[in-house]
Amino acid sequence: MMDVRIENLKRKHATLDEEIGGEVQRPIPDQAAISELKKEKLKLKDAIVSLQEA
């Protein structure tokens, strides 16, 4: 059960990584959007680490 949750979080983390990459490649990247995506990605990473240590 925990493994499924961790995998879902990892997928969301990878999706955010792709979104950040896409935004960075735009001619005029939206720095505010990038910042929010990075914050969300960090929250997911923290959640993943927390579940793996449990």
Domain ranges of the chain: 1-25
5-53 tens-digit pLDDT:
999 999 999 999 999 999 999 999 999 999 999 999 999 999 999 999 9
For helices 31-53 and 2-25, the axis angle rounded to 10 degrees is 160
pLDDT the model gives residue 32:
98
Coil vs helix vs strand at 41? helix
